[in-house]
Amino acid sequence: MNSVMKPVLILTVAIAGLATSSTVFARTEECHPTTEKEITALFDRWNASLQTGDPKKVVANYAEHSILLPTLSNQPRLTPEEKEDYFEHFLQKKPVGKIEFRDLEIDCNTAVDAGLYTFTFGDGTQAKARYTFTYHWNGKQWLITSHHSSLLPEKE
C-alpha cells in the first residue's frame, strides 16, 4: 500500500420522520502518510517497552479503548489496569520478542501486523506464538487497538 494521503469521505444521511427531504453531512479525514518501515517499528517500540520491566510503559502503547488477548492468560484485558496486571506478571519472565514471520496491511490511519513470533524468557525458555496487532493513528501517534497472541498449537 502506498503512503499517499487520500481523503475518506463519510456521509451521514438523516431523515426525520416521514419527511422526503434529507440532510447530508460530510467529513473529510486526512490519512497519515506511513510506510512499512514505520509500521514494523511499532513492534520494536512495544518490544523495547517490555525490556524496561515497567508495565505502565508497555500499556502506553495501547489506545485507551483497546483489547489485549494475551499469550499466557485466558482473560481478555480491556482496561489499562487489566493490561498492567497482565504485563506485571508477564514482565517478571523477562521476555524478549522476535518476529519470525509477518504480513502487513496498511490503510488510511490503520494498520494490521500479523504473523508468528517467539518470546525468549530470562531463564532461556521460549514460547512460540501467533499474533495480530491492529494499530490506529490517533492524530499524534500510532497506538495498538487490538492485540491477540496465542501459543502455537502442538505439531500435527
**pLDDT tens readout for residues 69-96:** 999 999 999 999 999 999 999 999 999 9
Bridge partners (DSSP) of residue 133 are 113, 147
The CATH number of the domain holding residue 47 is 3.10.450.50
In a domain, 18, yes or no: no
In a domain, 21, yes or no: no
State the residue for C-alpha cell 487520500: 6
Residue 46: give the domain boundaries.
35-151
Bridge partners (DSSP) of residue 110 are 107, 136
In a domain, 28, yes or no: no
Q: What is the pLDDT of residue 5?
A: 41
Band of pLDDT at residue 28, cut at 50, 70 and 90: low
Which residues touch 37 (CB under 8 Å, ≥6 apart)?
none
Tell me what the pLDDT averaged over the chain comes to: 86
- Main-chain phi, psi angles of 89, to 5 degrees: -80, -40
Say if CB 126 and CB 111 are below 8 A apart. Answer: no
pTM of the model: 0.80
